[in-house]
Structure formats: structure tokens, C-alpha cells
């Protein structure tokens, strides 16, 4: 029976059916929801719809875990968003696709807008035809039956993160802030450097603490473009390196007038008596246009020069990290040795590039 905006069923619905994919171990980063008879009971254009009882808790829990929520629905967009507003859920959905096109097209648009691999999306839909249409076009999308017990969605292993980081808890807000930045940037008439000056960027760089390690592990596993070697490190190894007197583990986070980007970079340095070796340099691809990778590299160079040591850096071409190789070259690093696919670079540190005037650097020792 209906209570407010909730429909309480005395009969327990069946557990959610799912179609696993070849990438069944990969975490799901975005759940895409159908609306009619999935998020709510009923068809919006035909009758008064009632929110399913478990939907609010499921969507909010996914949001807290850092899993994004979006929409692919054949519906009237204005009417659907108005109804979601009345249910207090509209703010939880990023780049909703509400219209009359194919669900597979909506799924592709969401993946592109969010810059996510198609295999990191899941669709929840009560209609077998819609799930089959999506799986035919995108076999790696995980399709779940929206007519089942939606609460069991929270038990799907690919929707349960191993760690809970600050970035996960604020992921939706970070995406929404990025959409706002992009909208302003697209309307800005002038050079990109002039636009960056309007952002009030603040980059913090300092030694990693134990509260940073989950995010740093995530960065080594998920960042590919601005990654100098492709090395991955687990939590325990990062903790050991953080505490080692022979290593320096740096973490970088970025903010601007729109909000916090999160912890977006790391540098791992092996410290020898007369030489430092930069083993790994990573910057999130989300901040590529902000030049954070180069600024982090320049900061390491400055620290090495202040310590009075030589600086070398390991680099491996992975097929996706050419931009990082360009950053090393522009900073003045030269190749001194090569062993298979491992390239050893060196910088004389006669001069260290200055920090761009569009960002304020806060460096901690």
C-alpha cells in the first residue's frame, strides 16, 4: 500500500538477475537507471507513479561508495526530472539521458561524457528487450533486472569498493563541479592560460600520510596516460615506502574556486647518498589541462637540487603515456641508459622550471 511517495510491498520480490561480462572483476563506476517500473512503479506518461521503497537507500548508498548514478530512460525529460525532484533524487544523477533514442546510444553518451570505459557501466532496467539491446551493442556492460529486488544491488561485488576514500565519497560532486568548469571554459573568450588564471588554482604537494594510501593505490592502478612507468603498488607496499628513510613518497591535491579535485598525483623517489631516482610519477588525466604533472615533476627537481644530489628518472612507454614522456623532455631530461623497455633519464638541475603564474603552489617538506 502507498505511504507518501513509497509503495510498500508485503511480498518480497525476487533477487536481482544479472548478466556477468568478460570483465566481471572490474569495478562498476556508474549505474545507469531506467525509470518506468524500475526507479518507480508505473509509467510516467500514463499514470501517477510511486517511488519503489528501496530505491532511495540504494542510490544514496552507491553515491556514498563513489559509484555514480545516471539515467537512460524513454520518457519526457522535463516531466521525468520534475518527478525525480519531487522524490528528492534529481541531484544524485549525472548526465541523465532521457528521450526516445536507443538505450545503447544513451549508454555510450554517458560513458563518453563521464570519460569512463564502457565496461565500467551497469544498466538497471525492468525490460528484457532493453537489456538485450544494450548487451548486443555493448557486451561489456553489466545488465541487471530492474524488476527484481533492487536492494540486492548493494551486494554485487563489483559495486563494493575495497577502500573508502575521500575521492569516492565526493566523486559525484567532483564531476558536477567539473561540468560547471567546462561550461565556463567553453564560453571563455581568450587563451587557455588566461582562463586558468580565473580559477584560483591551489596545488598542495607534500609527503604522503597513512590516510592517503588507499587513494595512492587507486591512482597507480587506474591512471594510465600521465603515468611514467605503469608500476602499481598495493597499500602495504606504499605504507612501507612512506616510512622508509630511503624513499620519498609525495602526494598532490588540487582545488579551485569551484571545489576540490581530490588527490590527483603522486611521486615516488628512491633516495641514494648522491642521487635520487624518480621511480614513479603520476597525475590524474582529469587535470591534464592544468599542467599538474609537469608542476609535480618540477617540484621533485627543486627538492633534489636543494638536497644537492643528481636526479634520474625511470620511464617506460606503455602505449598510453606518451604525454608523460613529452613532459620529461620539455623539463630537460635526457636519456642516459636503456634496458629493454625501461628508459633511464637524467637532469643536470642547472635550472629548474618555474611554477606557472596561474597556480599557487603550497609545498610541504
pLDDT in tens, the chain (365 residues): 222 332 222 333 344 444 443 445 788 999 999 999 999 999 999 999 999 999 999 999 999 999 999 999 999 999 999 999 999 999 999 999 999 999 999 999 999 999 889 999 999 999 999 999 999 999 999 999 999 889 999 999 999 988 778 888 889 999 999 999 999 999 999 999 999 999 999 999 999 999 999 999 989 988 888 999 999 999 999 999 999 999 999 999 999 999 999 999 999 999 999 999 999 999 998 898 899 999 999 999 999 999 999 999 999 999 889 999 999 999 999 999 999 999 999 999 999 999 999 999 999 99
Cβ-based burial of 187 (10 A; exposed 0-12, middle 13-18, buried ≥19): exposed
Cα 109 to Cα 143: distance, rounded to the nearest angstrom: 17
Q: Check residue 269 and give its pLDDT.
A: 98
What local confidence, expressed as pLDDT, does residue 3 receive?
A: 28
Q: What is the pTM of this model?
A: 0.77
Task: Compute the distance between CA of residue 312 and CA of residue 326 in angstroms, rounded to an integer.
Answer: 16
**Among the listed residues 52, 49, 96, 55, the one whose alpha carbon sits nearest the alpha carbon of residue 77:** 96
Distance linking the first and last C-alpha atoms of the chain: 62
Three-state DSSP at 347 gives: strand
Q: What is the rounded CA–CA span in Å between residue 225 and residue 269?
A: 20
Domain ranges of the chain: 2-159, 166-363
- Of the candidates 67, 98, 59, the residue with the CA atom closest to the CA atom of residue 81: 98
Residue 86 in grid coordinates: 519531487
In CATH, which of 3.40.50.10860, 3.30.499.10, 3.40.630.30, 3.40.50.2300 is domain 166-363? 3.40.630.30
Q: So what CATH class is 2-159?
A: alpha beta
Strands 259-271 and 275-283, by their bridges, are antiparallel
pLDDT of amino acid 15: 44
Q: Provide the H-helix boundaries in 170-258.
A: 171-187, 192-197, 213-222, 235-243
Place of cell 627543486: 302
The pLDDT score that the predictor gives to residue 24 is: 55
Amino acid at each position: 500500500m502507498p505511504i507518501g511517495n513509497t509503495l510498500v510491498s508485503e511480498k518480497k520480490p525476487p533477487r536481482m538477475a544479472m548478466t556477468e561480462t568478460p570483465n566481471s572483476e572490474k569495478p562498476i563506476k556508474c549505474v545507469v537507471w531506467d525509470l518506468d517500473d524500475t526507479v518507480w512503479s508505473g509509467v510516467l506518461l500514463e499514470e501517477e507513479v510511486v517511488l519503489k521503497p528501496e530505491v532511495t537507500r540504494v542510490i544514496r548508498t552507491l553515491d556514498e561508495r563513489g559509484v555514480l548514478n545516471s539515467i537512460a530512460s524513454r520518457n519526457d525529460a522535463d516531466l521525468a526530472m520534475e518527478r525525480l525532484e519531487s522524490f528528492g533524487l534529481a541531484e544524485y544523477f549525472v548526465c541523465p539521458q532521457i528521450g526516445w533514442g536507443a538505450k545503447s546510444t544513451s549508454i555510450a553518451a554517458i560513458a563518453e561524457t563521464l570519460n569512463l570505459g564502457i565496461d565500467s557501466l551497469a544498466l538497471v532496467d525492468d525490460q528484457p528487450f532493453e537489456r538485450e539491446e544494450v548487451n548486443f551493442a555493448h557486451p561489456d556492460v553489466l545488465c541487471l533486472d530492474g524488476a527484481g529486488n533492487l536492494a540486492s544491488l548493494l551486494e554485487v561485488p563489483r559495486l563494493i569498493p575495497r577502500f573508502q576514500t575521500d575521492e569516492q565519497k565526493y566523486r559525484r560532486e567532483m564531476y558536477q563541479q567539473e561540468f560547471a568548469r567546462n561550461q565556463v571554459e567553453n564560453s571563455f573568450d581568450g587563451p587557455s592560460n588566461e582562463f586558468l588564471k580565473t580559477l584560483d588554482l591551489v596545488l598542495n604537494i607534500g609527503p604522503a600520510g597513512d590516510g592517503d594510501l588507499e587513494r595512492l593505490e587507486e591512482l597507480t592502478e587506474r591512471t594510465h596516460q600521465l603515468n611514467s612507468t605503469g608500476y602499481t603498488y598495493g597499500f602495504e607496499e606504499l605504507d612501507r615506502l612512506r616510512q622508509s628513510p630511503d624513499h620519498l613518497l609525495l602526494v598532490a591535491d588540487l582545488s579551485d574556486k569551484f571545489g576540490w579535485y581530490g588527490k590527483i598525483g603522486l611521486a615516488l623517489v628512491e633516495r641514494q647518498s648522491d642521487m635520487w631516482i624518480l621511480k614513479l610519477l603520476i597525475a590524474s588525466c582529469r587535470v591534464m589541462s592544468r599542467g599538474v604533472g609537469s608542476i609535480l615533476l618540477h617540484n621533485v627537481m627543486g627538492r633534489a637540487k636543494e638536497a644537492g644530489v643528481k636526479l634520474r628518472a625511470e620511464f617506460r612507454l606503455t602505449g598510453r603515456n606518451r604525454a608523460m614522456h613529452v613532459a620529461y623532455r620539455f623539463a630537460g631530461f635526457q636519456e642516459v641508459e636503456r634496458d629493454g623497455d625501461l628508459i633511464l633519464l637524467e637532469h643536470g638541475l642547472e635550472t629548474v622550471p618555474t611554477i606557472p603564474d596561474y597556480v599557487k603552489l603550497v609545498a610541504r617538506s
